[in-house]
Amino acid sequence: MNATSRNHRPARSAAITTGRRATPQRTARFLSERSGLALLTAAVGATATAGTLLVAAAVRVTIAAPVRERLGYTFRGLPARPDVAVGIFAHNSRVIIGVFGLLLVAQIAAREAGGPGRPQRVMVTVGEVIIAGVVCANVLFVGAALGAYGPRMVGAVLPHGPIELTAYSLALGLYFQGRRRALPAAAMARGAALSVALLAVAAFLETFVTV
C-alpha cells in the first residue's frame, strides 16, 4: 500500500461518518415535525370540541325549544347514493382548500429573502380572519344543534363527525406550523393528502352509514 492510498483513507472515512450522522439528524427533524403537527392538530380539535360543547350546554339550558323550531330538522337521513357523497365531499373540501391556499401564500412569503411584503401580510391577515369566522360559525351552529336536539343530533353526526373534525384540525394544525416558517414541500403534500382522504372517508360514512 502506497502513501497516497493511506492519505485518502481518512478523508473517505470522514465522508462516510458524515453521511451516517446526517441520517439520524434528518430522522430526528422529521419526527420532531410530525410530533409538533400532531400536537397542533390535537390542540385545534380539542379547542373546537370544547367550544362546541360549551355552546351546546348553553343552548340546552336556555333556548333549546326556539332553536329546534328555527332549525326544523327531521332526521330523515340522506339518500345513499354516490353522487350525494361526492357533493358532501366537494362542499366540505372548500374549507380545506382555503386553508391550504392561505398556507401556500404564507410559505411563499417565508421563502422570500426579505420576508413577506405588505400585500402578502394583508392577504394572510384577511385570510386568517375569514377562516376564524368560518370555524366560529361552525362551532356555534353545531353546538346549537347539539344543544337543541341532544342525543338525536349526536347520532346524526356519528360516525362521520369526528373524522371531519380531524381533517379540519389537521389542515389548521399544518397551517399554524407553517404560517411563519418554511416547511418541506413533502410534509405539506402529506398533510394535504391526509386531510382530503379523511374528508372523503367522512363523506362516505355520512352518506352510507347511520347510527
Q: How far is CA 205 from CA 78, 104, 210, in A?
A: 11, 30, 8
> Cell numbers of 67, please?
332553536
Residue 159 has pLDDT above 50, yes or no: yes
| Mean of all residue pLDDT scores within the chain | 88
**In the chain, where are the structural domains located?**
32-208
State percent of the chain over pLDDT 70: 85
Question: Cα separation of 156 and 150, whole Å?
Answer: 10
DSSP for residue 158: T
Say if CB 158 and CB 211 are below 8 A apart: yes
Say if CB 178 and CB 188 are below 8 A apart: yes
pLDDT band for position 33 (50/70/90)? confident
Question: Cα separation of 175 and 29, whole Å?
Answer: 18
**pLDDT in the model for residue 25:** 67
Listed range (24-38, 59-73, 130-144) with the worst mean pLDDT: 24-38
Residue type, 46: A
pLDDT band for position 185 (50/70/90)? very high
**pLDDT in the model for residue 120:** 83
- Mean pLDDT across 145-151: 97
Residue 89 has pLDDT above 80, yes or no: yes
Question: Cα separation of 53 and 45, whole Å?
Answer: 12
Which SS3 state, helix, strand or coil, does residue 89 take? helix
The pTM of this model reads: 0.83
- Mean pLDDT across 129-133: 95
- Mean pLDDT across 165-179: 96
Of residues 24 and 7, more confidently modeled: 24
